Amino acid sequence: MEGKQRLPPPGPAVPGAAGEERREEEGKDAAGGGALGRPLGPTPSQSRFQVDLVAEGAGRPAEEPRKASGECGAAGKGSEEAKGRFRVNFVDPSAGDESPGEPGGGSSEGGNVSFQNGGDTVLSEGSLHSGGHHHYYYDTHTNTYYLRTFGHNTMDAVPRIDHYRHTAADLGEKLIRPSLAELHDELDKEPFEDGYANGEEGTPAGEAAATYTPDSKGVVKFGWIKGVLVRCMLNIWGVMLFIRLSWIVGQAGIGLSVLVIGMATVVTTITGLSTSAIATNGFVRGGGAYYLISRSLGPEFGGAIGLIFAFANAVAVAMYVVGFAETVVELLKENGTLMVDEMNDIRIIGAITVVILLGISVAGMEWEAKAQIVLLVILILAIGDFVIGTFIPLDSKKPKGFFGYKAEIFMENFGPDFRQEETFFSVFAIFFPAATGILAGANISGDLADPQSAIPKGTLLAILITTLVYVGIAVSVGSCVVRDATGNINNTIVTELTNCTTAACKLNYDFSSCQTGCQYGLMNNFQVMSMVSGFAPLISAGIFSATLSSALASLVSAPKIFQALCKDNIYPGFQMFAKGYGKNNEPLRGYLLTFLIALGFILIAELNVIAPIISNFFLASYALINFSVFHASLAKSPGWRPAFKYYNMWISLVGAILCCIVMFVINWWAALLTYVIVLGLYIYVTYKKPDVNWGSSTQALTYLNALQHSIRLSGVEDHVKNFRPQCLIMTGAPNARPALLHLVHAFTKNVGLMICGHVHMGPRRQAMKELSTDLAKYQRWLIKNKMKAFYAPVHAEDLRDGGQYLMQAAGLGRMRPNTLVVGFKKNWRQGDMRDVETYINLFHDAFDVQYGVVVIRLKEGLDISHLQGQELLSSQEKSPCTKDVIVKVDYSKKAETDTSIAFSPSSSERTPTLHKEEDEDGKTPTQPLLKKDSKSPSSPLNLADQRLLDASTQFQKKQGKSNIDVWWLFDDGGLTLLIPYLLTTKKKWKDCKIRVFIGGKINRIDHDRRAMATLLSKFRIDFSDIMVLGDINTKPKKENIAAFEEMIEPFRLHEDDKEQEVADKMKEDEPWRITDNELELYKTKTYRQIRLNELLKEHSSTANIIVMSLPVARKGAVSSALYMAWLEALSKDLPPILLVRGNHQSVLTFYS
């Protein structure tokens, strides 16, 4: 059971080898101590590489023991050089010949691993920890570690959290499990170099996160009480609690006030549940509401909400500070100590306050949290002060309407008494902002120790506590204070009245003298709570505390959200605000911006206009959080697995709709403005298409819709009216034949399917590697170049096999190709005739599976790959001797390297491919790629290449007023006519006119023309002219016949001049050869192709494009060389020509 681990002897002098040796010595010292007190080592096979920090040059090795939080990549106090360099050792044990047990073999380091307790790994004295680093040795001969998993030698890694981490941030080290290739491939080959799981590589934000490792020492993280509960309670209990709640009770009565509070709570509770669901569906980083929405619904909604939510928080700072300043100015006015006048005093006090708040925020989150605790204590004392006051009814307060708890007052105040055109909804609109603030905890998600448990617990408990307090105060104030009171002590009733109607009258006070203009009572005095309370100054302190705490929470939230938004680079102009400072990565630039926005609005000092817009901004984000949960549940993505189970997709949808309704209730014009802003930002982000992939529910729902529609489509029978040319184009690399791609795209875009087939030939292992990299690269290239097409690579022995695989398996359900499109084989006479045999057999295979065939020929040619340095794409075989790999990790913010090739063996081999990829992905389809002439980048192109280049872009331009000539000689079901019609429906081709050429008899030309005109008009296809050719069967010119015979001469068998056996053997070995018998048999057909070429030159030499019926050769009867010669003779020296042959099933109909 025991497996020894051994060290290799010091290897060749690689950078950092000295550090290696020192580390070995340290390891031996470390191993001297017992296993007691030492942390448990990792389970066997946890990483397939021995990854050590390499200390280069002077300085002690980067050797600080790793922190418990598992940071990796922080080089401790090591030299600067060591930062960011990893050494990946594949250790070859054959280098040292000591046996594992010998003392000289370094086995004091390699520990004995014993298994107890059913497989838990316990490390004995010779611990695997050496200087704080784990060493794993990878035996290249047997592909196993010298460690055991379940008691067997195996490379397979057991499941562990470190395999699933995204980055090495403050959570722990990301380990890479052995790739499938390493477990499965033959032993003498190198494993795949890229160890990335699906979609984990590649986003700029992800790269930045991977390269940035904060120092976890001194970072402040909050628990659920300090971080979420306190924050939410302070933010929800605003100034409304003290100044407006009593007035709301006066207007709406106790019953409807409780209903108003209940309605607001329903909206916030549903949103709280939705927030909890999203927050527990995976690790939450900083950015609060923005992070939750963007990672759930995608960057479009996230970017829109992030911006307005950050702005709303910034303006909310101004709103709360002005509320504070107004209260201070009221006190100054009472004491007659105004500085200038009311308005300017508010500005002065507001400006001073916001500067002090900025100071607290910038001092750091710890200070801000302490300030919040102090403010909460004051707030709770103020609420307690009010509650105590309600039980002490003083006679001095009775004239002001306060009598203590009386059933008469409760009964009178229970019903509504709306005055001054107030309604239930206007009162609700005034109260609702007092219920917002539930996201205060979520907004600092990045500063929470465990956001997943803190956000649900803190948010929901805060909603519960604050709601109970609101209801309690509404009921108690409604039971103690009458609606109207004069404040005049002389209004006492001395004699008993029998016909009292008001509660005050029953309590011996007559306030009827001022039914409309009283000074006191719930309706008239906003300071009722001060009047009721035991100690009035405490209520003022409570007002200050409520406003300042809300202002402080908003001042902290806004920059944090904005920083997260800028880090994701959704709005490139704001990139500068992404920078953080200090241990906590504080967004100081964001604080400054928030401060300036708040100061600007404080100086306006007219917040009645701003308040409804802010409420609507908050509500818009609540609506989207609710909608996110509904959307994610609807998409049925396997990744949607919230740990918080108490949510329901339909309740979340109701919550989203309620938020939208409340927006209109509060202020209809502000709601419309919010919708317009969100929609504008959404459209902007959609248009900019940020390069991020967060696995949003939008992606999941798109997939689900596509899947459901594809299945639904499969149940529908094909109908001729709905026929679409669905093309499988044999392009090879899509950017190698742009003319082919653009021409087919012109008639399939938004009409039919287009699949770019690419057959990889050659060694299977190499091709498999290319297949996976090419799939992502070329699909991205197609999207970037606005091609509505799919890329389908296959590996096959030859082109014919690959074509067969694609024709049989490409597509899905009804979305399968029905037409094969190939480029004309231009150099067929110079190349290997076996390739021609393969090429022609592709046509036969296509007809066998009922495909139509289209052959496209440009006289200049189609393939421009030799002008693009295309040969660099065929990746070279790696040298198998590379064992030491230095992986450079770039710590700069914008890591330029493509992460998918982070493990390739040497940068020199990688460079050309990398540049190639940047070229392809970053630029327009063809032109700029050609700056890379593989032979010599500076030499100008020769004339033929320049023409080829110009021809390759001709279908990207507008085609102008010219002709599309259709030579519809044979009826193939109508595909020959449908393709040119579809071309003319596109913008670039819409000015072109269709001319139709048909064969006919000389004595019936008029009749044939009329018959064709009738057919075309029934098909509703516009044409400019119909020409009937009566001379198709005329014998071609002698020189053209001679040229044809000269062309086929090298490919003839000449069996009449040879012995029978020799001729038969030759035909068997070279089946493409043309026999004399065959030539004689198909003489008429040969002459027809030559004659048609003469006619084409005569009639269609000025056409923009020619579409012509493709001649069909009988399988097994016509040799490949003869068929190829026919196509050559037919289509040479002409404008771009499409040789089309449908599958002889109707694709056009004139029935409705």
Residues 6+ apart with CB under 8 A from 958: 987, 988, 991
Ordered DSSP codes for 498-528: SS--SHHHHTTB--GGGTTT-SBSTTT-TTH
Say which residue the tokens 């021409």 belong to. 743
User: pLDDT value at position 99?
Assistant: 39
User: For 492, which DSSP code?
Assistant: B
Q: Residue 1087 in contact with residue 1041, Cβ under 8 Å?
A: yes
Angle at CA of residue 920, ends 914 and 921, nearest 5° = 90
Name residue 1141's beta-bridge partners: 853
- Report the pLDDT averaged over residues 1022-1033: 85
Instruction: Find out whether 294 and 462 touch, Cβ atoms under 8 Å.
Output: no
Per the model's pLDDT, the better-predicted residue between 977 and 584 turns out to be 977
Instruction: Choose between 257 and 1050: higher pLDDT.
Output: 257
Residue 167: predicted pLDDT? 58
- Residue 16 in tokens: 């950092």
Give tens-digit pLDDT for 412-426: 889 898 888 888 888
Quote the pLDDT of residue 141.
Answer: 43
Helices (H), 524-606: 528-532, 536-567, 588-604
Q: How far apart are CA 686 and CA 677, in angstroms?
A: 14
What integer pLDDT is reported at residue 556 of this predicted model?
84
Pick the residue with more confidence: 335 or 480?
480
pLDDT (tens digit per residue) in 714-757: 888 888 888 888 899 998 888 888 888 888 988 888 888 899 99
Calpha distance 339→929 (Å, rounded): 71
Backbone angles phi, psi at 638, to 5 degrees: -60, -20
Predicted confidence (pLDDT) at residue 761 exceeds the cutoff of 90? no
CA distance 772 to 795: 11
pLDDT in tens, 37-60: 444 444 444 434 444 444 334 444
Q: What are the pLDDT digits (tens) for 281-312?
A: 877 777 777 888 888 888 888 888 888 888 88
> 755 has which bridge partners?
728, 790
Q: With 80 as the cut, is the pLDDT of residue 607 above it?
A: no
- CA–CA dist 344, 864 (Å, integer): 73
Q: Which two tokens stand for residue 904?
A: 């390739």
How many Cβ atoms from other residues are within 10 Å of residue 591's Cβ?
21
- Structure tokens belonging to residue 282: 């995976």
d(CA 851, CA 1142): 7
pLDDT interval class at 383 (50, 70, 90): very high
Name the strands in the sheet holding 1137-1141, side by side, starting at the edge strand that comes first in the sequence: 790-795, 754-760, 727-730, 819-823, 852-857, 1137-1141, 1105-1109, 963-967, 993-999, 1025-1029
> What pLDDT shows up at residue 353?
92
Q: Which two tokens stand for residue 23?
A: 């580390």
Query: Which residue type occupies 782?
Result: L
Query: No. of H helices and E strands in the chain?
Result: 35, 19
- For position 302, what pLDDT does the model report? 85
Mean pLDDT for the chain overall? 75
Residue 370: the pLDDT is: 83
How does strand 152-153 pair with strand 148-149? antiparallel
**pLDDT per position as a tens digit, 150-172:** 555 567 777 877 777 765 455 56
Q: Output the pLDDT for position 172.
A: 61
Give the integer Cα–Cα distance in Å for 97 and 105.
Answer: 8
With 80 as the cut, is the pLDDT of residue 279 above it? yes
pLDDT, mean of residues 617-621: 87
Contacts with 474 (C-beta within 8 Å, 6 or more apart), sequence order: 245, 248, 249, 254, 257, 258, 261
* Residue 516 pLDDT: 65
Question: Would you say residue 380 has pLDDT above 70?
Answer: yes
In the chain, pLDDT over 70 holds for what percent of residues?
75
| Euclidean distance between CA atoms 666 and 676, whole angstroms | 17
Average pLDDT over every residue of 511-540: 81
Q: Which residue has the higher pLDDT, 608 or 257?
A: 257
Other C-beta atoms within 10 Å of 872: how many? 17
pLDDT tens digit sequence for 826-835: 888 888 888 8
Whole-number Å distance between alpha carbons of 351 and 348: 5
Torsion sign over Cα 718, 723, 728, 734: negative
Q: Are 620 and 663 in contact (CB under 8 A)?
A: yes
**DSSP-derived secondary structure for 827-887:** TTTTS-HHHHHHHHHHHHHHHHTT-EEEEEE-TT-S--GGGTTGGGGSPPPPPTT--EEEE
Please give the Cα distance from 655 to 903 (Å, whole number).
Answer: 48
Amino acid letter at 537?
P
Q: Is residue 259 over pLDDT 90?
A: yes
CB 433 within 8 A of CB 525: no
Q: Which residue has the higher pLDDT, 367 or 471?
A: 471
**Mean pLDDT to the nearest integer, 1107-1119:** 87
Contacts of 367 by beta carbon, 8 Å cutoff, 6+ apart: 360
Say if residue 470's pLDDT is above 90: yes
Q: What percent of the chain has pLDDT over 90?
A: 13
pLDDT band of residue 235 (cuts 50, 70, 90) is: confident
Query: Which of these ranges, 221-230, 504-513, 765-774, 786-795, has the smallest mean pLDDT?
Result: 504-513
Q: Which residues pair with 129 in a beta bridge?
A: 134
pLDDT at 475: 94
1143 Cβ contact list (under 8 Å, min separation 6):
818, 847, 850, 851, 852, 972, 973, 975
Residue 969: closest CA among 1053, 885, 1092, 1122: 1092
- Is the pLDDT score of 75 beyond 80? no
Q: Which residue has the higher pLDDT, 1110 or 17?
A: 1110
| pLDDT higher than threshold 60 for residue 916 | no
262 compared with 6, residue with greater pLDDT: 262
Please, which pLDDT band fits residue 493 given cuts at 50, 70 and 90? low
**Which of 52-66, 370-384, 650-664, 1115-1129 is predicted with the least confidence, judged by mean pLDDT?**
52-66
